[in-house]
């Protein structure tokens, strides 16, 4: 039976960093590459970070029911999980790893139930979140404000996840997640 690991967090909490570290430890984890209607940013590579596409192409995929879930995460920018992506990961005998926004994470857990384990990654404070977003250096000041405005609303949904991980000390957070993942995939 195919399994899934879901990671959601307010942007800047360290979710991507944690997921990358985790994937180095568990060779059976395979990242589910989402589709997005936004253009690539920085070093992002098509097919590795996202399937980048035009808003028109994204719309076509919605119409052909290609998505398990999709969402307009930021105004004018859509992201979605492709059904075909999950199926090919399971066909290789691997565990799907999702990096999705909070609404998408709750939705995927509802769809897949016990086949999924969901994690909410939290920064210790909103101030720290701002520092991390500034320090990451990938977003404009406007984009950072947009992400922070969304964060407080997202944090209210943390209790809907199986596990809440406070990413204060990175090594400790990765160890905590790894222990839970080990139990889940060996179950």
Residues that bind ligand ADP (CB under 6 A): 9, 11-17, 132, 135-136, 167, 170
Per CB under 6 A, the segment of 52-60, 78-86, 112-120, 127-135 that binds ligand 5GP is 78-86
Residue selected from 101, 112, 122, 165 as contacting ligand 5GP according to rule CB under 6 A: 101
Q: Residue 20: CB partners within 8 Å, gap ≥ 6?
A: none
DSSP letter, residue 37: S
Question: Is residue 71 close enough to count as binding ligand 5GP by CB under 6 A?
Answer: yes
| 81 counts as binding ligand 5GP under rule CB under 6 A | yes
Q: Where are the beta strands (DSSP E) in 9-135?
A: 29-31, 34-36, 50-52, 67-74, 77-82, 95-99, 116-122
- From the list 69, 72, 166, 50, the residue with the least C-alpha distance to 108 is 69
Nearer to ligand 5GP, 139 or 187 (CB): 139
- Backbone angle region of 181, left / alpha / beta, with phi > 0 → left and psi within -120 to 50 → alpha: alpha
52 and 111 Cβ atoms separated by less than 8 Å: no
Residue 73 in the binding site for ligand 5GP (CB under 6 A): yes
Binding residue for ligand 5GP (CB under 6 A) from 5, 11, 18, 118?
A: 11
Give residues in contact with ligand 5GP (CB under 6 A).
11, 34, 69, 71, 73, 79-81, 99-101, 104
């Amino acid at each position: 039976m195919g399994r899934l690991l879901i990671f959601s967090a307010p942007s800047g909490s360290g979710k991507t960093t944690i997921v990358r570290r985790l994937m180095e430890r568990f060779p059976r984890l395979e990242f589910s590459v989402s589709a997005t209607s936004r253009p690539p940013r920085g070093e992002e590579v098509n097919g590795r970070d996202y399937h980048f596409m035009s808003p028109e192409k994204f719309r076509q995929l919605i119409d052909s029911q290609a998505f398990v879930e999709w969402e307009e995460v930021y105004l004018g920018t859509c992201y979605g999980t492709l059904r075909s992506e999950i199926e090919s990961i399971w066909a290789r005998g691997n565990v799907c790893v999702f990096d999705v926004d909070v609404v998408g994470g709750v939705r995927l857990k509802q769809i897949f139930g016990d086949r999924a384990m969901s994690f909410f990654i939290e920064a210790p404070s909103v101030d720290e979140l701002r520092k991390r977003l500034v320090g990451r250096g990938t977003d404009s000041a406007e984009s950072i404000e947009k992400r922070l405005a969304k964060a407080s609303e997202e944090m209210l949904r943390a209790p809907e996840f199986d596990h809440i991980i406070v990413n204060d000390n990175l090594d400790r957070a990765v160890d905590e997640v790894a222990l839970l993942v080990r139990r889940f995939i060996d179950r």
